[in-house]
Amino acid sequence: MSVTRREFLKLTAASAAASAIGSELMVGSAVMGSPAIDWHKSVCRFCGTGCGVMLGTRNGKAVAVKGDRKSTVNRGLLCVKGFYLHKIVHAKNRLLQPLVRKNGTLQPASWDEAMSLVAEKFSAIIKEHGPDAVAFYGSGQGTTEETYIANKLFKGHLSTNNFEGNPRLCMASAVGGYLTSFGADEPVGTYDDIEHAELFLLIGSNTAEAHPVLFDRLVARKKNHPSTKIITIDPRKTPTNKIVDLHLQVIPGYDLAVMHAIARILIKEGYTDEKFISESVTFSDGKKKISYEGYKRFLEKFTPEYAAEKAGIDPQDIVKAARMFGEAKTAMSMWTMGVNQRTRGVWLNNLMHNIHLLTGKLGKPGCDSFSLTGQPNACGGVREGGGLCHLLPGHRKVAVKQHREEIAAIWNVPASNIKPKPGKHTMAMFSAIAAGEIKAAYIMCTNPAHSLPNLNKYLQGLKDCFLVVADSFHPTETTKLADVVLPAAFWGEKEGVYGCTERRSQHMAQAIQPQGQARWDGEILMDLARRLGHGKNFEHFKTPEDVWTEYITTTKGRDMDLTGAPYSRLRKVRGLRWPVPDEKHPGTWHRFTEEDPLFPKEKAKGRRMYFYNKPDGRAVVFARPDKGPEEPVDAEYPLVLSTGRVLEHWHTMTMTGSVKQLVRAVPQPYVEINPEDAKELGFADKDTAIVETRRGELKLMVRVIDRPRKGTIFIPWHWPEKLANLLTTDAIDPGSKEPEYKICAARIRKA
C-alpha cells in the first residue's frame, strides 16, 4: 500500500489514539513497572530549577529516568532535557581515558602519566612565576563537594585567589543585586510563593524554555486560579507568551527606565506600603543615603512617556503593568539572563527589588523578587561554597581578615596562606591567560572556549597556556585546546549535593560506577593535591560525605546555615532550604521574617522584616541612573543582537547534542529575524545570511519569525559549529564583572 506523505502523517496522528483501545496495561509497562530496575534519588543535571529525578539502573547501566514525585520542586514532572538524562550517561561522546597532547595531538595516556605531567607543570610554573601564574576555572554544574576541594587546594594551599567559575557569566549580577539591596545573597522566598501569587512579572526570562518545569507551575497556577495575571518585559516574543496577559516588548537595554516609571506610578497612585517603607527600607543613590522625598524627586523624570519613548513601547502599557502590580494582593517577579547579562545588570536587579520593597510585596506568601538560576549548582557550589575570586565558603569574603582566619582554621592552614586580595574575575582571568600572565589553568566541568563572549580574543591564549580540562565529554571546544584532558565521572556515577535557585540543597546518589577510567572530580583534585605536596589536609576525605561534613561546618552561624543538613538527613528528604541550623529544623520559606531562625526579634522590635545583614536592618531602594547598553546600534551596525536558549538544548550542547530526539527537535542553528526587517532587507525564510558585529561574523540559516522585536535579531548559542560568541561583546558590568551577552550591535547581509 502506498500512502502519500500527508496521508502517512495523518495515520501517524491517528495512532496515538489507537492506544486508547486499552490493549495495554499501564502497570507492567516495559520499563517503569519493571521490578528489575533499581531507582536512585537524584537531581536533574541541567537547569537551576532543581527538579528531583529518579535514575533507574539495571546491571550497572542507566536505563531510565522519571520525575521524583516526592520532590516538591517538580512533583514528578520533567522537561524534555531531564527526560533523556540516562541516555547521556552512556553517550558516545563520553571521555573514558586520560588524554595528553603529544606532537600536537591528544593521545591516550595513563592516569599516572597525565597527573604527573599536570603536577610537574603546575609546580614548575608556581616556582618560577609565583602562585598567581596559575588559575582554576570551575562550574555551577560541579557538585558542592568538588568546588569545595578545589577552593581548599587553590586558595588555601597554593595561595592563589585566581579561582573563578562560570556563574560569573550568569549569576554575578543577581548576587550583586541581592547583596546591595538586601545585604545577603539569594532570594527571600522560595518556589512555594508561586502557588500564592496573583501576579507574575517576568523580565528577561523565557521561562517556558529556560526553566520549563517552573513554567509548568505557572501554567498550573493560572489554570487553577484563572484570575492570575502574568506580565512579561522582554524584547522577544517567546513560547512563554502562551500564558502572558501583557507583554512590554522593549528595545534591548532600555528597561531600566521602564522599571523606574513603574515605581513612580506605584508611589503616585498610592500602591505603596508606607508602614513597611518607614520600618524596613532606606534609600540610596548608589553613593550615599538619600531621603524618600529625594527618591521621589529622582523618579519625577521617569514619566510613562519618557520610559516608553526610550524603550519603544506604548506608555499606556507601562501604566497598565504598574497598576496590575499595585492592585494584585500578592506579586512575584522572576528574571534570568536578560537582566543579569548586562553591563548594568546589578542596577537592574536593584530596580526589581525596588518595586517589591516599595509595595511591601516581599517576605510573605506569594510575594518575592526572585532571580532564577541557570545552572543546577551555581547557588549551592559557587555562590554559597565561595567559588569565586573574592569569596570563601559560607558567604565569606577573602578581603575580611576574620573570614580568612575562620576558614584557614577549618582548612588547617596558616591564615596567611589565604591572600586578602581578590584574584582575577573570569574575564580578567581569560585576558591574563591571553596575555600570557597566567601560564597554567585547570578547567573543571565547563566549556569556556564556547561560552566566553568575544571568543576571538581569548582562544589563542587558551591554546598557548598549559591547559588542563577535566570533563566527562570529549571533544568540546575547550578540550580540543587542552594539553591534558582528564575523564571525569558523570552525573549518576558519583555522589554529591546540588543547591538550586530556591536555596534548596539536594543530595544525589551514586547509582553506577564511573565508566571507563573516569574518576570523580574530587578524587582527581585530591590526587593533584598529593602530587603537589598538600595531601595531608585532604586525607580525611574518603567519600563525598566527608567533604560535605567539613563544608557544612563553614556554614555554622552564617546566613546560609546548613548545619542541620548532614548527608544522613539529605539522603532521606527531598532537599532542605537554608537556613536550616539544626536537624529538627524544617528549613526556611521566608528569610528576614519571623519564619527565619536567624531573625533577631529584639532588634526587629515588631517590624515584619529585618534585613539582619544590613547594619540598620533595612533594605535599600536604589535611585540608579537609566544607563543604556554598552554598544548601542548605529548606522554601521543598525540591529541589536541578542543570544539565548532553546528548550531542547542546554548551554554548549555537550550533553543534549548526543540525544537524537533533542537534536531532532531543533536540528540546526539559525538567526531569528522579524518579518518586517526581513522584508526590508530582502530575506526569505531559510536563506543564508552573514551576521556581523565589530568582533566577528557568522554564516547562519535565516528564520523569519515574529519573535524578535523589529530591529533586533536573535541567535541561540548552543551549536559548536556556529559559535554565537564570536559575535558577542565582552563589555562587563563594573559591579558584577558579568559580560553583556544579551546586547550588541550587529548587521546582517545575504551570504
Query: Residue from 26, 435, 635, 684 that binds another protein (CB under 8 A)?
Result: 26
Q: Is 40 in the site for another protein (CB under 8 A)?
A: no
Q: Which of residues 637-666 bind another protein (CB under 8 A)?
A: 647-648, 660-666
Active site residue 253: no
d(CA 513, CA 215): 34
Q: Can you tell me the distance from the alpha carbon of 738 to that of 189, in angstroms, rounded to the nearest whole number?
A: 24
Residue (of 50, 47, 31, 52) closest to 572 by Cα position: 52
Map the footprint of another protein across residues 586-605, applying CB under 8 A.
Answer: 586-587, 589
Q: Which residue, among 732, 688, 691, has the nearest Cα to 713 in the 3D structure?
A: 691
H/E run at residue 230: strand 229-233
Q: Which residue has the cell 531573625?
A: 599
Closer residue to another protein (CB): 503 or 614:
503
For residue 647, give the nearest of 220, 214, 170, 249 by alpha carbon. Answer: 214
Nearer to another protein (CB atom), residue 16 or residue 684: 16
6 lines the binding site for another protein (CB under 8 A): yes
Q: Could you tell me the smallest distance in angstroms from the CB atom of residue 506 to ligand SF4? A: 11
Contact 238, 247 (CB under 8 A): no
| Shortest Å, Cβ 374 to ligand SF4 | 10
- Encoded one letter per residue, x for contact with another protein by CB under 8 A and - for no contact, window 161-190 reads -----------------------------x
Q: What is the DSSP string of 112-140?
A: HHHHHHHHHHHHHHHHHH-GGGEEEEE-T
Partner whose footprint covers residue 667, from another protein, ligand SF4, none (CB < 5 to 8 Å by kind): another protein
The residue (of 65 and 328) whose beta carbon lies closer to ligand SF4 is 65
Q: Is residue 141 annotated as a catalytic residue, yes or no?
A: no
Strands 504-508 and 576-577: antiparallel
Nearer to another protein, 362 or 486 (CB): 362
Q: Angle at CA 446, nearest 5°, toward 89 and 141?
A: 65
| Min CB(687)–another protein separation in Å | 15
Tell me whether residue 337 is one of the annotated catalytic residues: yes
Nearer to ligand SF4, 71 or 350 (CB): 71
Q: Which of 41, 66, 81, 424 is catalytic?
A: 81
Tell me if 162 sits within 8 A of 438, measured CB to CB. Answer: yes
Of 42 and 161, nearer to another protein (C-beta) is: 42
- The residues pairing with 201 across neighbouring beta strands, listed in sequence order, are 231, 333
The entry of ligand SF4, another protein, none that residue 668 binds, CB within 5 to 8 Å by partner kind: another protein
Q: Decide if residue 379 touches another protein (CB under 8 A).
A: no
| Annotated catalytic residue 171 | yes
- Residue from 141, 341, 375, 510 carrying the catalytic annotation: 375
Which window, 60-68, 123-131, 152-160, 302-310, contacts another protein (CB under 8 A)? Answer: 60-68
Whichever of 364 and 618 has its CB closer to another protein, that residue is: 364
38: enclosing H helix or E strand: strand 38-43
Judged by beta carbon distances under 5 to 8 A according to partner kind, the member of another protein, ligand SF4, none in contact with residue 65 is another protein
Pick from 35, 38, 47, 65: which binds another protein (CB under 8 A)? Answer: 65
CB-count exposure of residue 379 (10 Å: 0-12, 13-18, 19+):
buried
Q: Which residues pair with 457 in a beta bridge?
A: none
Site string for another protein, 549-588 (x = CB under 8 A): -----------------------xxxxxx--x-----xx-
Options 99-107, 218-226, 298-306, 402-410: segment touching another protein (CB under 8 A): 218-226
Q: At what angle do helices 255-268 and 345-359 cross, to 10 degrees?
A: 10
Contact map string, positions 267 to 296, toward another protein, x by CB under 8 A? ------------------------------
Please list, in sequence order, all residues whose beta carbon lies within 8 angstroms of the beta carbon of residue 655, skipping any fewer than 6 positions away: 45, 46, 88, 91, 473
Q: Least Å distance between CB 573 and ligand SF4?
A: 18
Report, in Å, the least distance between residue 665 CB and another protein.
5
Question: Which DSSP letter does residue 391 get?
Answer: E
635 makes contact, choosing from another protein, ligand SF4, none, with CB < 5 to 8 Å by partner type, with: none
Q: Which does 219 bind (CB under 5 to 8 A by kind): another protein, ligand SF4, none?
A: another protein
HEC-encoded secondary structure of 186-197? CCCCCHHHHHHC
Among ligand SF4, another protein, none, partner that 44 touches (CB below 5 to 8 angstroms by kind)? ligand SF4
Strand arrangement of the beta sheet that strand 576-577 belongs to: 496-499, 504-508, 576-577
Q: Is 668 a catalytic residue?
A: no
The catalytic residue among 79, 170, 389, 653 is: 170
Task: For residue 445, give the nearest of 405, 400, 476 by alpha carbon.
Answer: 476
Tell me: does residue 23 bind another protein (CB under 8 A).
yes
Exactly one of 47, 51, 79, 171 is catalytic; name it. 171
Q: Would you state the torsion angle of the CA atoms of residues 149, 393, 185, 649, taken in this order, to the nearest 10 degrees?
A: 0
From the list 111-119, 238-246, 300-308, 440-448, the region that binds another protein by CB under 8 A is 238-246
223: contact with another protein by CB under 8 A: yes
- Cell 518595586 belongs to 355
Q: Which of 89, 70, 236 is nearest to 709 (CA)?
A: 236
Does 216 bind another protein (CB under 8 A)? Our answer is: yes
Distance of CA 366 to the CA centre of its chain: 23
Q: In sequence order, what are the beta bridge partners of 731? A: none
Interaxial angle between packed helices 255-268 and 292-299, expressed in degrees from 0 to 180 and rounded to the nearest 10: 120
79 an active-site residue? no
Choose the one of ligand SF4, another protein, none that binds residue 573, judging by a C-beta under 5 to 8 angstroms depending on kind: another protein
Does residue 552 contact residue 544 with C-beta atoms inside 8 Å? no
Q: At 275, which helix (H) or strand (E)?
A: helix 274-280
Residue 465 burial (CB count, 10 A) = 24
Q: Assess contact for 674 and 712: CB atoms under 8 A.
A: yes
Per partner kind, with CB cut-offs from 5 to 8 A, the member of ligand SF4, another protein, none near residue 18 is another protein
Q: Which of 141, 192, 219, 218 is nearest to 575 (CA)?
A: 192
49 binds, among ligand SF4, another protein, none (CB under 5 to 8 A by kind): ligand SF4
C-beta closer to ligand SF4: residue 212 or 363? 212
- Minimum distance from residue 70 beta carbon to another protein (Å): 7
| Given 44, 208, 261, 441, the residue binding another protein (CB under 8 A) | 208
Point out which span in 29-37, 429-437, 622-630, 633-641 binds another protein (CB under 8 A): 29-37
Listed ranges 24-32, 114-122, 147-155, 352-360: which one lies at the site for another protein (CB under 8 A): 24-32
Least distance from another protein to the Cβ atom of residue 515, Å: 14
Binding at 304: pick from another protein, ligand SF4, none (beta carbon under 5-8 Å per type): none
Closest to 307 measured CA to CA, from 235, 265, 248, 258: 258
**Which of another protein, ligand SF4, none binds 46 (CB below 5-8 Å, type-dependent)?**
ligand SF4
**Nearest residue (CB) to ligand SF4, 348 versus 372:** 372
Cα(523)–Cα(544) distance, integer angstroms: 9
Q: Does 70 bind another protein (CB under 8 A)?
A: yes
User: Quick one: residue 59, left, alpha or beta (phi over 0 = left, psi -120 to 50 = alpha)?
Assistant: left
Residues in the site for ligand SF4, rule: CB under 6 A? 44, 46-47, 49-51, 74, 78-79, 81-82, 211-213
Nearest distance in Å: CB 671, another protein: 16
Contacts of 468 (CB under 8 A, 6+ apart): 118, 440, 441, 442, 443, 482, 483, 484, 485, 486
Query: What binding mask, one character per residue, do residues 242-261 give for another protein by CB under 8 A, x or -?
Result: xx------------------
**Residues involved in catalysis:** 81, 170-171, 337, 374-375
